[in-house]
Amino acid sequence: MTTLYHGGVIHPWADARTVEALLVKGGRVVATGSVADLQTPGVRRVDLSGAHAFPGFTDAHVHVWKVGQLRTTLLDLREATSLDELSRLVQERHAELPDGVWLWGRGWNEARLGGSPTRALLDRLAPGRPVLLTRTCAHIHAVNTSALERAGIQADTPAPDGGEIDYERGLLTETAYGLVYAAMPEPSQAQFEAWILAGLEYLKALGFTAATDPAVDPPLYAAYRALDAAGRLPIRVNLLYIRRPDGGAATYPLPEKHVSPMLRCDSVKFFADGGLSGATAAVSVPFRETGTRGVLRFDTADLYDLACEAHVAGFRIGTHAIGDVALEQVLGVYARLLHEHPGGPRHRIEHFGLPGARHLALARALNMIVVPQPVFLHELRANYDRYVPDALAGQVFPLRAMFDAGLDVAFSSDGPVVRELRPLCGLAAGVAEPYVPGQAVTLTQALGAYTRGGAVAHGDDHERGTLEPGKYADLTVIDGDLFDTDPTNWPDIPVRPGVLADPI
């Protein structure tokens, strides 16, 4: 079927250039231009009624199944602004759940609550029931005594490498979480599928047409493959497959590669350090308040070996690296990889939180794709004020410098680390809310990072990212003119559900 989109403003290159009409056949762009030129007899017409249509937006780093989990079975703590409010939510859920079942919540942030939940508090709120409350960053977890018992953790249990156990307070950091996770019942594949679909339907409703799920283990991969085989994925998904899961030295073998129009798995994922908002990123100058320097999760030689195996087998790599010490390690590993095994696919750095000038230049020299989260600048600013030392404050997500360095930049939300997944909120934060003065990006740069940048990071920029002939006719349709509206008002502009043109 041939379809003519008209009656609005079409931005084929996600910048200020516009055309009147878009002709689509078999799910792909045939041509863009004027209505008069593209009009053919029998064509189906879709009137955009004044809206602005862009190439489909990608959220290049969003934990899809966890977004779905928070929208269905998990206790959502992201709105809680005090420990009293958190307590009420936990008590309500405790009263609803059958005896003995784990109470799992996510989203607390001590900067909003005025403190972290403690083991003693959780023991009081849900006596006899194992409770796990994951911090908003997913790098720190609050547990009660019953959860520690089920995980076999006692006061003198040593922490696994790359993790910390604070038995007294009931806080588990980084890999120590694996001990508790292993003690929880394994979700069924049907449950994983339901979480994935809930997450993807939500992203589609927000206007996205593609997403990268950046930490996928074998059961989750099986669920994605089943959904793809059944034709049930509502938007295009790129997976970063985890090599070494939380909680130990075990390594998953490389996965079977899979590339279909809706699902792509040809990348692996490593976590080099923790997060900035919870002061667990690996940094060269101690964090304020905690006095700590974060955690490096890998021995450099180990990371190199695992990355090399993937690189040589033709896998793309996405490595989580936020602190300057982690960036140093990861860029060093990538540099050695490309020196000893030149060629191969391009690799990514997830977050790229505290790069100095040297890291920016090295990332460019290595042709890295970087995947930062502009919405962090809006939502996690109080945490940065609280923890980031003066010496590093000038390096917090310097988005403009990433573009100036010539890097390919893909924007993302890292949801559900943040509450706000709407694309225009990320766009507005990137353009109007830099942490470092002078580091705001232009609207065109930000749009590029959600469209072409997202496709580059996804690995399919030959198929998506602009509305040029031959590419997928994936559309993000916005009911307002971003170029003519103040950024503070962008979040109020409606975005229609993402459009993936019918492939028939």
**Cβ-proximal residues to 385 (8 Å cutoff; 6+ apart), any chain:** none
CB 53 within 8 A of CB 475: yes
Query: Residue 275 Cβ, how far from Zn ion at the closest point, in Å?
Result: 9
Give me the least distance between CB of 255 and Zn ion, in Å please: 19
Nearer to Zn ion, 273 or 414 (CB): 414
Of 273 and 474, which has the nearer Cβ to Zn ion?
273
Q: Give the range of 118-126, 185-193, 202-210, 411-419 binding Zn ion by CB under 5 A.
A: 411-419
SS3 category, 226: helix
User: Interface with Zn ion by CB under 5 A: which range of 101-109, 164-172, 394-402, 412-420?
Assistant: 412-420
**Nearer of residues 119 and 297 to Zn ion, judged by Cβ:** 297
Helices (H), 346-389: 357-365, 375-379, 381-387
Quick one: which segment of 185-193, 198-206, 283-291, 414-422 binds Zn ion (CB under 5 A)? 414-422
According to CB under 5 A, which residues from 318 to 357 bind Zn ion?
A: none
Specify the residue, 94 or 139, whose C-beta has the smaller distance to Zn ion.
139
Question: 322 vs 478, which CB is nearer to Zn ion?
Answer: 322
**Least Å from the CB of residue 412 to Zn ion:** 8
Other CB atoms closer than 10 Å to residue 358's CB: what's the count? 12
- Of 154-183, binders to Zn ion (CB under 5 A) are none
Tell me, rounded to whole angstroms, the distance of Cα 426 from its chain centroid: 12
**Is the alpha carbon torsion for 156, 136, 211, 333 positive or negative?**
negative
DSSP 488: G
Least Å distance between CB 276 and Zn ion? 12
- Nearer to Zn ion by Cβ, of 66 and 236: the residue is 66
Which among 69-77, 91-99, 277-285, 413-421 is the span making contact with Zn ion, rule CB under 5 A?
A: 413-421
63 or 236: CB nearest Zn ion: 63
C-beta of 200 vs 499, nearer to Zn ion? 200
The 3-state DSSP class for residue 360 equals helix
**Shortest reach from residue 364's CB to Zn ion, in Å:** 23
Parallel, antiparallel or unpaired: strands 140-143 and 171-174:
antiparallel
Shortest separation between residue 273's beta carbon and Zn ion, angstroms: 12
Complex with Zn ion: residue 213 or 433, whichever CB lies closer: 213
Reference 337, options 314, 368, 311, 317; nearest CA is 311
Sign of CA dihedral 180, 81, 287, 381: positive
Residue 24's beta-bridge partner residues?
3, 29
Give the whole-angstrom CA distance, residue 137 versus residue 418. 8
Binding mask 222-261 for Zn ion (x = CB under 5 A): ----------------------------------------
Nearer to Zn ion, 55 or 178 (CB): 178
Q: How far is the CB of 450 from Zn ion (least distance, A)?
A: 17
Half-sphere exposure of 393 (CA within 13 A, CB side): 13
Check binding of 379 to Zn ion (CB under 5 A): no
Binding residue (CB under 5 A) for Zn ion from 266, 414, 433, 474: 414
Judged by CB, which is closer to Zn ion: 139, or 359?
139
Please state whether the peptide bond connecting residue 416 to the residue before it is cis, i.e. omega within 30 degrees of 0. Answer: yes
Nearest residue to Zn ion on Cβ basis: 414
- Minimum distance of Zn ion from residue 421's CB (angstroms): 13
Tokens of 279: 């002061």
Instruction: Look at residues 343, 349, 345, 361 and name the one whose alpha carbon lies nearest to residue 303.
Output: 349
Give, in order, the Cα–Cα distances in Å from 480 to each of 1, 13, 17, 274, 490: 29, 17, 16, 38, 9
Min separation Cβ 415 and Zn ion, Å: 9
Q: Is 301 exposed, middle or buried (0-12, 13-18, 19+ CB in 10 A)?
A: exposed
Q: How far is the CB of 61 from Zn ion (least distance, A)?
A: 6
Tell me the number of residues near Zn ion by CB under 5 A: 1
Using CB under 5 A, which of the segments 42-50, 294-302, 328-336, 407-415 binds Zn ion? 407-415
- Please tell me the distance from the alpha carbon of residue 384 to that of residue 394, in angstroms, as a whole number: 11
Q: For residues 486-504, b (16+ Cβ closer than 10 Å) or e, as one string? A: ebeebbebebbbbbbbeee
Tell me whether residue 414 or residue 474 sits nearer to Zn ion (CB atom): 414
Rg, the chain, Cα only = 23
Supply the minimum distance, in Å, between the C-beta of residue 93 and Zn ion.
25
Phi-psi region of 229 (alpha: psi -120 to 50; beta: other; left: phi over 0): alpha
Q: Which residues bind Zn ion (CB under 5 A)?
A: 414
